[in-house]
Structure 1
Amino acid sequence: MAPANSTGSAHSIRPVAVDDVDTWHLEADVVVAGYGIAGVSAAIEAARVGADVLVLERTSGWGGAAALAGGFIYLGGGTPLQKALGFEDTPENMKTFMMAALGPGADEEKITDYCNGSVEHYNWLVDNGVPFKESFYGQPGWETPFDDGLMYSGGENAAPFNAIAAQAPRGHVPQMSDKRTGEKGGGFMLMKPLVETAEKLGVRAEHDMRVQRLVVDGDRVVGIIAKRYGKEVAVRARTGVVLAMGSFAYNESMVESYAPRLIGRPGAAIEEHDGTAIRMAQALGADLAHMDASEVAFFGDPQLMVRGILVNGRGQRYVNEDTYPGRIGQETLLRNNNEAYLIIDEAAYDEGAGADSSTPFFRFRPKWVAETAAELESEMGLPEGTLQSTVEVYNRHAERGEDPVFGKKPEWVKPIGSPIAALDLRGFTAGFTLGGLRTSIQSEVLHVSGEPIPGLFAAGRCTAGVCAGGYASGTSLGDGSFYGRRAGISAAKG
């Protein structure tokens, strides 16, 4: 018996030889494991090229993490929405940003491919019923609080990236009113029309199926062993299997091994992200990439953060506060011991608190308030002179509307006055994993030898996609749908 994993199950992940399968309970040309964004995209494209497609979903309905997400899809290179709203972009410019922001170690071949195909992918989404409103939201925020279709979602308009590549917003958001992120976000309006498209194409779905093992005929994957209500179900795949089962954010042992900074703070939308797809493929010798990489959510409201300064446990600034909040989260957790304080004066706090926001629940009251930086520093228990010098240097340059230390945009650079306050944001982070199976641009799962594993394909957060070290909102849904499509086509061809 295999040792129990963190989810409490004790099943083996070792492959099953085809000769040991007595009965195939279900079969199709292409069997897709997971009905989130990667899975539905794979199912659509496999069906469109004539394959009989069966999706196995662990939960009782479609959607996965995608349906609960804010809905950003990272697209650019001159999409019709970008052009309609007056923004110029090219695949080359998009690639320059992505290589700078998503590294170190970003996969240049995959990013080049993704950027070159981005406009076509936008059109594919629209053709499949995904709605985008011709409206740009230009305020700081995790997401737009309205139904706008386009937004900066990766720090493209903030230092250092605004000096590396021409600025262009690439966070495309499906139009949806009355959004409730985490319940029914913009991601729901991405998934709904795609699932409806899949159903019209004849894609079948079986729910409450816990995929556990791969079936092999020699070195070729020919099926899946799943469990439903405690009973084993053997599913034959005549041409290919697509793994689209999400990250390993909720597998405690894998997080401890690969991404220990996330221990105790998983931030994936659904707990089914337990790494099973990765482990099943590993048992066949699959290669992995970027397993230590993670996106980090920071529980601070951007409308407040841009109006103050973020300091660490030494009273020092460590990031430009107007950048992508996920980058702030990474800098806080991964490089500053998860210690953060927002220093802000009363006028700036009141202004930020009155602005529109998609995350008003991240607007916390100050823990300390004082008349001077010296008094605030003392109340916070910071080393004498540290916060004072940070505020003094910031204010000196802010008098001229400049931030030469981190390059915050002039519109947000104002001297910090009195009364001065500090919000205690220590430990206010959670994250999800970005690493996973190494795949080709055709979404083939690669063996450690570098060769494709016959019959096995993958997409989405169980793979190492376009992100390596950095992240931009929309790269999960963008990469998952883009390479999900490739996986479906490849699996149909066998």
Structure 2
Amino acid sequence: MTRNDSGDRAGTAWDAVADVIVVGMGAAGCAAAVAAHDAGAQVLILEKGDADTAGGNTRVSGGAWFGHDDPEGIATYLRALCGDRPVPEPIIRAWAHGTREITEWMSSLGVTALPLRHFPVEYPELPGSDAYDHLRCVDGAMGDGRLYRALETIVRERDIPVRYGSPATELVTDPADGRVTGVLTAAGERLAARRGVVLSTGGFEGDADLVREHLGLEDPPLWGSAAATGDGLRMAQDIGADLWHMDNMMAVNGIPRPDSRHGSFAMLIHRRGYLWVDDDGRRFVDECVPTGHGQALIDGEYRLHPERPMHVVFDERTRLAGPIGAVPEILPVGWSLLVDGYRWSPDNSVEIEAGWIHRADTLEELADATGVPAAALVESVARYNRACETGHDEHFGRAPETLVPVSEPPFYAYRSGPMLGWTSGGPRRDEHARVLRPSGEAIEGLYAAGSVSSTYSWAKDGGFHIADALVFGRIAGEHAAARG
């Protein structure tokens, strides 16, 4: 970086200048910065969080990307996952070939990438699914911040400057032709980007207004970073960017923490004795339907799952079977666990005493505590228990092996928002990661990668989001570095 190296056409001096400015340093941002640097560009990273919270959702993710050796087959799988929301073919081809190269590229950067063999393909019924190979992770272990630490180390080894606590607020454009020439920061700095700006700011799950508008959820608890507030989306939209995939998301059953915007992932793996009811006290779905990363096959179509708030009801036997919230020994992911350091109690008693989970001696009392109609809740539990007795769920088709009764008091319930993991929508981009206008014209000098502008128009599999971030982050960095 240099100070006051140049000015814009209006003659206003810049506070600093780089070839490529990367906004956000999760997987996409780090990949873009490293790729641009290795292509000979002078790079600056602006990171909204401080050093202890930087990295967005990548910091707390499973950190896995999927592998394959069949670009044609995996492209077929992606088309099937998109369903009636097709993604342009050039993007599919770039994604298919790029995802094939991730492991080799990461290895070339010094990362020990090993397979995880116990995570099968999530949509085996779809064409092309047989091209999906095992997940890959840093050192062959999922979560615990390994991927973020590896990427941060690679950035540091290259002496790429990172400005922590420096959110970007606005893109600077050339008034003559509209190309992006730099960014403004919250501190009022004007930073020039000779060759391009890469937006890798994450999604908009942390912004309650955007979530309400585009996803129809009322301030749900968050799985990941609360810093993902749609910054890149807004900056791009302000200069005329088109948007895509705005109603797509990844949500999970999660238990909100009243002391935090974050929640804990509800595993419920030790015993299946639970059911979901809506605010009317009615059961409304197969709670155990096989689910991918955000969608499930329900009534013949792939639908968001879970897609709306629900009360999760269970009994004493399920409570005693093991921790309901995520614990590091099983799945070391999520902001609550890895950043806030919250450790769920082995028998769920601490969370019950804290009021995160309601407890009652009868279902009628539980209904009163949760605010649902008592008669409806009692009938829903009775119908569910009858299905458990017969081994046949005539209403929603839940698999017999998952039908475990909810019958031993006391009874428990919590309301899941559901918990929002991440969003997929943002500025539309092309196969070069260039942000596009509604006309399809590229906004020169502006790129987007990662959850700010995910490839996935609908369903997605395990390791897809990290893979997408690494692929298009790399593409964005290389393309920006090659601009004159």
1:367 alignment partner, one of 359, 363, 382: 359
CA contact (8 A) 1:34 1:55 kept: yes
Cα deviation for residue 449 of structure 1 reads 0.6
Cα deviation for residue 471 of structure 1 reads 4.7
Identity %: 22
Residues 2-401 of structure 1 mapped to structure 2, 5 A cutoff? 18-61=8-51, 63-78=54-69, 90-91=70-71, 94-95=74-75, 98-101=78-81, 105=85, 107=87, 109=89, 110-136=91-117, 138=118, 151-152=119-120, 156-157=121-122, 161-164=123-126, 170-175=134-139, 185-186=143-144, 188-217=145-174, 218-227=176-185, 230=187, 232-261=188-217, 263-265=218-220, 267=222, 269-299=224-254, 301-304=266-269, 307-313=272-278, 314-316=281-283, 318-321=285-288, 323-324=290-291, 327=294, 334-335=307-308, 338-343=309-314, 346=317, 350-351=320-321, 357-358=330-331, 361=344, 364=348, 367=359, 381-383=374-376, 385-397=379-391
Query: In structure 2, how many angstroms separate the alpha carbons of the residues matched to 1:173 and 1:422?
Result: 39
Give the aligned residue type for 1:25.
D
Query: In structure 2, how many angstroms separate the alpha carbons of the residues matched to 1:248 and 1:191?
Result: 20
Q: Which runs of 4+ in 1 moved over 6 A?
A: 373-380
Deviations 1:167-202 (A, max 9, x none): 76754333488x9xxxxx53x321233233334445
Query: In structure 1, how many angstroms separate the alpha carbons of the residues matched to 2:305 and 2:391?
Result: 24
1:419 alignment partner, one of 408, 414, 423: 408
Unaligned runs of 5+ in 1: 1-16, 79-89, 139-150, 180-184
CA contact (8 A) 1:72 1:473 kept: no
CA contact (8 A) 2:314 2:406 kept: no
Give the aligned residue type for 1:443.
A
The question of 1:491 aligning with 2:480 is answered yes
Cα deviation for residue 472 of structure 1 reads 4.3
Query: In structure 2, how many angstroms separate the alpha carbons of the residues matched to 1:204 and 1:119?
Result: 30
Aligned in 2, Cα 1:56/1:223: closer, same or farther, shift over 3 Å?
Answer: farther
Query: In structure 2, how many angstroms separate the alpha carbons of the residues matched to 1:162 and 1:344?
Result: 33
Cα deviation for residue 282 of structure 1 reads 1.2
Aligned in 2, Cα 1:306/1:132: closer, same or farther, shift over 3 Å?
Answer: farther
The range that moved more, 279-288 or 103-112, is 103-112
Query: In structure 1, how many angstroms separate the alpha carbons of the residues matched to 2:206 and 2:88?
Result: 29
Give the aligned residue type for 1:128.
L
SS of residue in 2 equivalent to 1:445: strand
- In the alignment of these two chains, the number of paired residues is 427
SS of residue in 2 equivalent to 1:19: coil
Query: In structure 2, how many angstroms separate the alpha carbons of the residues matched to 1:242 and 1:209?
Result: 15
Give the aligned residue type for 2:226.
E
Aligned in 2, Cα 1:307/1:333: closer, same or farther, shift over 3 Å?
Answer: closer
User: Which residue of 2 is the match for residue 83 of structure 1?
Assistant: none
Give the aligned residue type for 2:136.
H
Cα deviation for residue 416 of structure 1 reads 3.2
Unaligned runs of 5+ in 2: 1-6, 255-264, 297-302, 333-342, 353-357
The range that moved more, 320-329 or 251-260, is 320-329
Give the aligned residue type for 1:387.
V
CA contact (8 A) 1:319 1:328 kept: no
SS of residue in 2 equivalent to 1:18: coil
CA contact (8 A) 2:212 2:219 kept: no
CA contact (8 A) 2:181 2:193 kept: yes
Cα deviation for residue 298 of structure 1 reads 1.6
TM-score norm. by structure 2 comes to 0.74
Alignment RMSD: 3.9
Query: In structure 2, how many angstroms separate the alpha carbons of the residues matched to 1:378 and 1:271?
Result: 32
User: Which residue of 2 is the match for residue 429 of structure 1?
Assistant: 418
Cα deviation for residue 444 of structure 1 reads 0.5
1:454 alignment partner, one of 430, 444, 448: 444
User: Which residue of 2 is the match for residue 13 of structure 1?
Assistant: none
Cα deviation for residue 208 of structure 1 reads 3.4
Aligned in 2, Cα 1:302/1:203: closer, same or farther, shift over 3 Å?
Answer: same
Residues 475-486 of structure 1 mapped to structure 2, 5 A cutoff? 475-486=464-475
Give the aligned residue type for 1:105.
R
Cα deviation for residue 425 of structure 1 reads 2.9
Give the aligned residue type for 1:340.
H
Give the aligned residue type for 1:227.
T
Cα deviation for residue 407 of structure 1 reads 6.0
Cα deviation for residue 289 of structure 1 reads 0.8
Aligned in 2, Cα 1:259/1:353: closer, same or farther, shift over 3 Å?
Answer: closer
